[in-house]
Amino acid sequence: MTSASRQTRPAGPGRVRRPFRAACVLFALLFLPAAQAQIPPLSDLGEYPEPEDPGRLHFYLVTVDVGNRLWDNFGHTALRMHDEVSGADLLFNWGVFDAGGGMLRFGFRFFLGEMNYRLFTVPTEQAYALYREEERSVWEDRINLNNAEKARLYRRLMWNLEPENLVYEYDYFDDNCTTRLRDYLDEALDGRLSGQYSGVTGTTYRQVIQAHYESIAVVAMLLDLAMNSNIDRAMSEWESMFLPLNLRRRLLLMDSDVALEGEQLPLLAESRLVEEFPPPSRQWNAYIVFVVILASLALWLLSTTIRPRYSRFMDSSQGHRRRLSPAGYRVLGAATLIGSIFSGLLGCLMLGSWFWSGHEDLHHNLNLLLFWPTDLLGIAVSLRWMFLKSPWPLNQYSAPYTNYYILAHMVGIGVYAGIHFGGLAEQDLSNVTTWLLAPMAVIILLIWQRGYRRVENTIEL
């Protein structure tokens, strides 16, 4: 998952104070290998240029609303710098990433936790034109800083423009385009921002993720399943400002150190709505849709059950197992194929991320009790049901393994429910327990009762 990120094509670094600095920035973006910028204290930066006339240097907070793509559903934050002396009017954007290798390569690198984002500067009007093309609302607020605060922020920006400082290791919660600007503003304000917002909110990261992906319901459900208890703790006020709109709301409540005619000014002023578009529309709840599909499938399968006729006097066996109609087996096979792929791949993702991914929010996930990598083996069984339209035959050797596997799945469902209702987990299991546990158990029992038959004198499941 990316948060507060934007995918843009570098269109030139814009006009900075010195042409040589602009050339260095462009060279670094195009030719230098990615380096990861660490943020040293301002006192350790060394000699960097000061603004020629701080009174004619202006900074603006630029907040971009959420978009309808996977990587911009958290919105975006940038900083506008307008220098009346040089005429430079630039937007500092910390949300640029390289997708040159295609989305598959990008997704794999994101899974591993190897995400390098970079600072890029573009002329302000050019950036606004891009947001207008994407139909995303944009707010601009002037940041009231005194001359000393402007000088500190300006020095930090000049440090960040050095080729070796352009690239940083992205983290969707702790180090993104919004937190970079939050930290720089806090530094310029001499810690007043972090000092004022040191409390704890009543909102968890999971709640934020679910709310911001309401426009992509399937992604919201997959993230809810794939992420562990790390995202179920309440955010601090400081941490909550990883969201662009949260940062803007909190800055709007702060006073500045600037006074006009004896009256203290707010930190953000001269707010204007640059562009306005409706936000992405909310989609259906994917969990509800999933349950409706499973319930419909279960009822349809039960309605197509055939009980073979037999004579009680001529047959002394324990009874004939109910079977599905040929169409029923085809539907059962198609449903099992989809379920096996979904459960198996999700299990592979959760188990594989535990060992190889740098995203600790994907490790030690209790949903592994329900979704197993070995469920991919169900693909072979489902294909037989689809094409031969008959139950899977089990002999005395395969029957016990099938029995134990299905029983283990049912035990996993029971243990999961016990953990949830017993309050034994820090991970929020409420959505899965509410929507998925009962339908999963019913479908597994249907597969067990209708999907297999005995052969020869072996034990029938």
Q: From CA 143, how far away is CA 189, in angstroms rounded? A: 11
Say if residue 374 is in the same domain as residue 404.
yes
- Mean pLDDT confidence for 329-351: 93
Q: What is the mean pLDDT of residues 324-343?
A: 91
**In angstroms, rounded to a whole number, what is the distance separating the alpha carbons of residues 321 and 331?**
19
Percent of the chain with pLDDT over 90: 60
pLDDT tens digit string along 342-382? 999 999 999 999 988 888 899 999 999 999 999 999 999 99
Domain count for the chain: 2
**Residues 266 and 336 occupy one common structural domain:** no
Pairing of strands 452-454, 392-394: parallel
In this structure, are residues 91 and 59 in contact, taking their beta carbons and an 8 Å threshold? no
Is 363 found in the same domain as 422?
yes
The pLDDT of residue 458 is: 43
349 occurs within a structural domain = yes
Confidence of residue 24 (pLDDT cuts 50, 70, 90): very low
Residue 100 domain flag: yes
Average pLDDT, the chain: 85
84-99 burial code (b ≥16 CB/10 A, e <16) = eebebbbbbbbbbbbe
Same domain? For 154 and 75 the reply is yes
Beta bridge partners of 236: 200
Q: Does residue 418 belong to any structural domain of this protein?
A: yes
List the structure tokens of 203: 């909102």
pLDDT number for residue 290: 86
Instruction: Note the pLDDT of residue 234.
Output: 96
Structure-token pair, residue 17: 């104070």
Q: What is the mean pLDDT of residues 274-278?
A: 94
Looking at the structure, tell me whether residues 144 and 292 fall in a common domain. no
For 292-304, give the DSSP string.
HHHHHHHHHHHHT
Tell me the two tokens of residue 336. 């099992």
Same domain, 245 and 271: yes
pLDDT at 100: 66
Q: Which of 219, 252, 275 is the last residue of a domain?
A: 275
Establish if 33 belongs to a structural domain. Answer: yes
Q: Which amino acid is at 129?
A: A
User: Do 61 and 121 sit in the same domain of this protein?
Assistant: yes
Same domain, 78 and 173: yes
Select from 275, 295, 321 the last residue of a domain: 275
Q: Same domain, yes or no, for 144 and 245?
A: yes
Structural domain contains residue 9: no
- How far is it, in rounded angstroms, from Cα 101 to Cα 427? 35
Task: Please check whether residues 260 and 129 belong to one and the same domain.
Answer: yes
CA atoms within 13 A on the CB side of 389: 6
pLDDT at 261 over 50: yes
pLDDT score recorded for residue 440: 92
DSSP class of residue 171 equals B
pLDDT band with cut points at 50, 70 and 90 for residue 164 = very high
Q: What tens digit of pLDDT does each residue of 73-126 get? A: 899 999 999 999 999 999 999 998 876 666 677 667 777 777 889 999 999 999
433: pLDDT strictly greater than 90: yes
CB neighbours of residue 424 within 10 Å? 11
Residue 286 tokens read as 């994917």
Determine if the pTM surpasses 0.85.
no
Residue with token string 């720089």: 184
The more confidently predicted of residues 97 and 35 is 97
Of the pLDDT bands very low, low, confident and very high (cuts 50, 70, 90), residue 461 is very low
In a domain, 461, yes or no: no
Total length of the chain: 461
Q: How far apart are CA 331 and CA 124, in angstroms?
A: 56
- The reported pLDDT for the residue numbered 307 is 59
Which of 83, 67, 65, 102 is closest to 16 using CA atoms? 83
Who wins on pLDDT, 449 or 255? 255
Task: Point out the least confidently predicted range of 20-34, 231-245, 354-368, 396-410.
Answer: 20-34
pLDDT of residue 314: 37
| Pair (290, 192) in one structural domain | no
146 lies in which domain range?
A: 19-197+241-275
The beta strands (E) that lie in 186-322 are given as 200-204, 234-236, 255-260, 263-266, 268-275, 305-306
What does the pLDDT average to over 44-62?
Answer: 90
Tell me if 211 is assigned to some domain.
no
Residue 261 shares a structural domain with residue 295 = no
Q: How confident is the model at residue 457 (pLDDT cuts 50, 70, 90)?
A: low
Q: Whole-angstrom Cα distance, residue 67 to residue 64?
A: 9
Q: Are 36 and 168 in contact (CB under 8 A)?
A: yes
Please return the burial class of 341, using the count of CB atoms within 10 Å of its CB with bins 0-12, 13-18 and 19+.
middle
Provide the 10 A C-beta neighbour count for residue 314.
6
Count of alpha carbons within 13 Å of 230, Cβ hemisphere only? 13
At residue 35, the pLDDT reads: 43
- CA dist 64 and 2 (Å) reads 15
Whether residue 203 has pLDDT greater than 80:
yes
Is 14 inside any structural domain?
A: no
Confidence of residue 20 (pLDDT cuts 50, 70, 90): very low
